[in-house]
C-alpha cells in the first residue's frame, strides 16, 4: 500500500462520533434564510406592499364602444366587416354604415408602417360620413426584431 512507506495510517484520526453544535447552527441559519426569503410575503425591491397601477379619475366614465371597426395594412389595404375596400369606396361605405346610429364611432386598427397620408384620408372620409370620433390603434408586433434591422 501507499500509506506504509510514509506511515500515514498511524497519523489518521477516527471520524467524530457526534456532530458539533456549530453544524446545527449552520443548518438552522440556512433553513431560516430559505424560509424567510423564499416566502410569498417578500416583494421585489422598489415595489410597495400596497402597489396599484395608476388610474385617472373619470377615465372609465367617458369610455365609449366603437360601432364600426376597420383595419389598415401598410400596403394600403383597408379591411372592413364587409371585406376589402379601396380608399375611394370607403367614404360611401361609411355613409351607408352610419345611417342607423345616432353617434357612430370608428375604430381604425393600423398595422406598423401605415403612411400618415392614408390615415389622414381615412379620417377625412370618416368625418365627412358623419362619424363623431375616430380612434386609431397600432397593432403590436408579433415577431421579435433583430438589432440593427
Q: Where are the domains of the chain?
A: 68-138
pLDDT of residue 48: 57
Fold (CATH) for 68-138: Nucleotidyltransferase; domain 5 (3.30.420)
The strand pairing partners of 109, in sequence order, are: 71, 137
Query: Residues 46, 48, 54, 57: is their CA dihedral positive or negative?
Result: negative
What per-residue confidence (pLDDT) applies to 140? 60
Q: What is the pTM of this model?
A: 0.52
What is the C-alpha separation between 59 and 135, in angstroms, rounded?
16
Strand 105-110, strand 78-80: pairing:
unpaired
Residue-level pLDDT, tens digit, the chain, 149 residues? 555 677 777 888 877 667 678 888 899 999 998 887 776 666 566 655 566 777 777 666 666 778 888 999 888 889 988 889 888 888 899 999 888 888 888 888 887 788 888 888 888 999 998 887 666 767 566 655 556 55
pLDDT recorded at residue 21: 81
- All cell numbers assigned to 43: 416583494
Amino acid at each position: 500500500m501507499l500509506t506504509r512507506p510514509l506511515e500515514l495510517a498511524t497519523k489518521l484520526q477516527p471520524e467524530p462520533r457526534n456532530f458539533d453544535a456549530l453544524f446545527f447552527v449552520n443548518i438552522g441559519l440556512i433553513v431560516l434564510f430559505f424560509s424567510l426569503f423564499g416566502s410569498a410575503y417578500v416583494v421585489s425591491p422598489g415595489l410597495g406592499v400596497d402597489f396599484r397601477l395608476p388610474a385617472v379619475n373619470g377615465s372609465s366614465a367617458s369610455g365609449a364602444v366603437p360601432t364600426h371597426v376597420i383595419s389598415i395594412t401598410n400596403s394600403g389595404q383597408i379591411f372592413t366587416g364587409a371585406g376589402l375596400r379601396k380608399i375611394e369606396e370607403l367614404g360611401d361605405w361609411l355613409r351607408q354604415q352610419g345611417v342607423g346610429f345616432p353617434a357612430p364611432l370608428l375604430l381604425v386598427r393600423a398595422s406598423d408602417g401605415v403612411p400618415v397620408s392614408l390615415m389622414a384620408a381615412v379620417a377625412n372620409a370618416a368625418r365627412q360620413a358623419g362619424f363623431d370620433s375616430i380612434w386609431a390603434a397600432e397593432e403590436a408586433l408579433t415577431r421579435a426584431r433583430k438589432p440593427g434591422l
